Amino acid sequence: MSAHETATDFRLIDSTLRDGSHAVSHRFSAEEVRRVVAGLDAAGVPVIEVTHGDGMGGSSFNYGFSHTPETDLLKVAVETATQATIAVLFVPGIGVKDDLRQAADLGVGMARVATHCTEADIAEQHIALTKELGMEAIGFLMMAHMILPEALAEQARKMASYGADVVYVTDSAGAMTVDDFKRRVAAVKGAVDVGVGVHAHNNLSLAVANSLGALEEGATNVDGCATGLGAGAGNCSTEILVATSDKLGLRTGVDTFAMMDAAEECVRPLRPEMGVIDRDGLMLGYAGVYGSFLLHARKAAQRYGVQTRDILVELGRRGMVGGQEDMIIDVALALRDGRVEA
C-alpha cells in the first residue's frame, strides 16, 4: 500500500504527540518530537497532533508542566513534516484565543476544539476563530459515554452549526463497548452534514474494535496513537488500526510496514511498557473516569496512603470530568479520613 495513496476510506489522525503526552508526564523533548513526526510523516500519516496532553495552555500546576514549551515543539513539528498537517488540541478555558492565533502563525493547519459532551456551546467563538485563521476546525465532544446518543447528537448539531468541519465522538474514559460507540456514532452521523470522527481509549481493550465499529456506522475520521501511547491504558494503536484496516481492505493511505517501523523504532523507546492494561487502567474504563486522571490518582494514592482503585471508583461515582483534577486530592483525603467508604 503506497504511503502517498490519495483515495482513502477514512482519514487517520495520529495523537501520539498530544494524548501520548499524558503517558510521559508531558516530558516530550524537541528531538523526540522531531523523530516521531519524521517517522509518522514518512509512513504517510496525514495529520499529526502536537500539544500538551490537555491542549494548548495546558502546561500548569493543575495539569502538569511541560518539559519543553509547546510552541517550540510545534515549530519542530511543522518544520519536520513534509506532507502531514500538524494539528493542536484546544480546550476553552485552558487555552485562550491568542493560543489559536499563535498556532496559525506557526503553520498549524488544524485545531481540535474540545469540550465536555454537554458543553458544546462554549466552543462557538473558538471554532469560529479557528476558521477565520484559515485552519480546519474539529469539534471534540469529550466523555461521550456520559450522555445518551440523542443528547450527544444535539451537542454535535451545535458544533456543526458553529462551523466545525468534523465532529468527534470522544471516549475519553475508554468506557464504551462496541455497541455504545456504534449507537453514538450513528446518532451523530444522522444529525450533522459534516464529517464524524472517533477517538478511542483502550481501558477495556476495545479501542481498535470500537474504531472499526464506528467506521461501519459511517465515521470518516479515526484517531490513533503509535504503540497506543496515551492517557490511562492508552489509545487506539495506530499501527494496529492500520494493519487491521489493511487486512480488511480499508484504505488508509498509510504504509502499513512503515507505520509499524515508526511505532517500534520512534515511539516504543519512549515508554516500552505501554500497551499493558493493568488494574488501574482497567478501572478507568470500568468506572468511566477521564484517562488523564490516572497518573494524578496514583500520586495521590501514594501520598495519602489509599488505593488508586478506590479513588477512581469514587471519582466515577461523583461523575468527575476533565478540568476537575483538583477533586482527586479531595477524594484521596476523604478516603484517608474515612469520610468515604472504600
Separation CA 298–CA 294 (nearest Å): 6
One-character DSSP codes across 164-202: -SEEEEEETTS---HHHHHHHHHHHHHH-SSEEEEEEB-
Would you state the cell numbers that stand for residue 34, as one nine-digit string? 522531531
Is there a contact between 108 and 86 (Cβ–Cβ < 8 Å)?
yes
Phi-psi region of 109 (alpha: psi -120 to 50; beta: other; left: phi over 0): alpha
φ, ψ of residue 215 in degrees (nearest 5)? -65, -35
Is there a contact between 243 and 212 (Cβ–Cβ < 8 Å)?
no
Supply the angle between the helices 178-191 and 207-216 in degrees, to the nearest 10.
Answer: 40
Catalytic choice (4, 22, 52, 199): 22
Instruction: Dihedral sign for Cα 215, 221, 223, 227, please.
Output: positive
Separation CA 317–CA 277 (nearest Å): 22
Q: How many helices (H) and strands (E) does the chain have?
A: 14, 8
Which residues, listed in sequence order, are joined to residue 87 by a DSSP beta bridge? 49, 110
Burial 254-271 (b: 16+ CB within 10 A, else e): bbbebbbebbeebbbebe
- Based on C-alpha coordinates, what's the Rg of the chain? 18
Is there a contact between 98 and 57 (Cβ–Cβ < 8 Å)?
no
Separation CA 227–CA 239 (nearest Å): 7
22 is catalytic: yes
Which residues, listed in sequence order, are joined to residue 13 by a DSSP beta bridge? 47, 223
Would you state the cell numbers that stand for residue 117, as one nine-digit string? 459532551
Q: Which residues are catalytic?
A: 22
